[in-house]
């Protein structure tokens, strides 16, 4: 199985006044194509920062991220925008759905950003929502959906552009135990059926152990368990 993501000596620091806060110091991990990997750690340890670097939402201050063997941050901003749009899907804890839009409209957004025709974007969004078990919720707005349903809309939105990588940041943080279990089982199904490469960061170690491999983030470094 080939490597889809690899980091080497990855570091990230932020400036706070006259001082620098180093969040990540020396993160080295690998994620193979078609594999589901979980990253666990205490709150504030840098899990979200790591995911943002893997998805090119932010640039590191040191080290490397390799995507399919290529140095991700050797590319310019325009290329990074294209990679995020075409190859990486994001799922966030707070869902990040537009409240005034229906589930169908929310899910269609990535395809519209890619300038696909409205009919094509809508068809892709409807198919993704049906795959998430939301065939009866297409025209409901987020406020009319449960937390678990909103997260499924967010996952459908992440899948509309047919990415090869799915990055999920605390995707069950706002869900009860039953809904959390269902979301992780959904990730496992997507991995098995679509061959998706999935990286999930979470504080829930019990659910994290459903993944094929687990990394623990401690003091800015990763330890594989």
Average pLDDT, the chain: 93
pLDDT tens-digit readout, 140-163: 999 999 999 999 999 999 999 899
Contact in structure between 146 and 155 (CB atoms under 8 Å): no
CATH number of 3-224: 3.40.50.300
Which of 175, 191, 11 minimizes the C-alpha distance to 94? Answer: 175
Instruction: Specify the residue for token string 């840098």.
Output: 46
Q: What band does 218 get if pLDDT is binned at 50, 70 and 90?
A: very high
- What is the reported pLDDT for 94? 87
Q: Tell me how far apart the alpha carbons of residues 79 and 84 are, in angstroms, rounded to a whole number.
A: 9
Among residues 159, 161, 12, which one has the least CA distance to residue 73? Answer: 12
pLDDT beyond 80 at 17 = no
Domain segments of the chain: what residues? 3-224
Kindly report, residue by residue over 89-114, the tens digit of the pLDDT.
999 888 899 999 999 999 999 999 88
Range from 14-18, 81-85, 119-123, 189-193 carrying the lowest mean pLDDT = 14-18
Please state the pTM of the whole predicted model. Answer: 0.93
The pLDDT value given to residue 198? 97
56: which 2 tokens?
A: 């090119």
Q: In this model, does residue 56 exceed pLDDT 80?
A: yes
Q: Which residue is it, tokens 């491999």?
A: 213
């Amino acid at each position: 199985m080939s490597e889809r993501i690899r980091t080497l000596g990855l570091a990230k620091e932020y400036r706070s006044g006259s001082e620098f806060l180093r969040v990540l110091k020396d993160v080295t991990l690998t994620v193979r194509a078609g594999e589901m990997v979980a990253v666990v750690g205490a709150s504030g340890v840098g899990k979200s920062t790591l995911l943002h670097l893997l998805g090119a939402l932010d640039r590191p201050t040191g080290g490397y991220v390799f995507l399919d063997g290529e140095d991700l941050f050797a590319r310019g901003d325009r290329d990074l925008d294209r990679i995020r749009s075409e190859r990486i899907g994001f799922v966030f804890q707070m869902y990040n759905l537009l409240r005034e839009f229906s589930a169908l409209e929310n899910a269609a957004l990535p395809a519209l950003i890619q300038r696909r025709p409205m009919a094509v974007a809508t068809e892709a969004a409807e198919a993704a929502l049906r795959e998430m078990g939301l065939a009866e919720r297409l025209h409901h707005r987020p406020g009319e959906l449960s937390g678990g349903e909103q997260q499924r809309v967010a996952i459908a939105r992440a899948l509309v552009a047919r990415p090869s990588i799915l990055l999920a940041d605390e995707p069950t943080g706002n869900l009860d135990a039953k809904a959390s279990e269902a979301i992780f089982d959904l990730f496992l199904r997507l991995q098995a059926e679509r061959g998706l490469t999935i990286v999930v960061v979470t504080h829930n170690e019990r659910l994290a152990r459903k993944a094929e491999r687990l990394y623990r983030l401690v003091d800015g470094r990763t330890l594989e368990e």
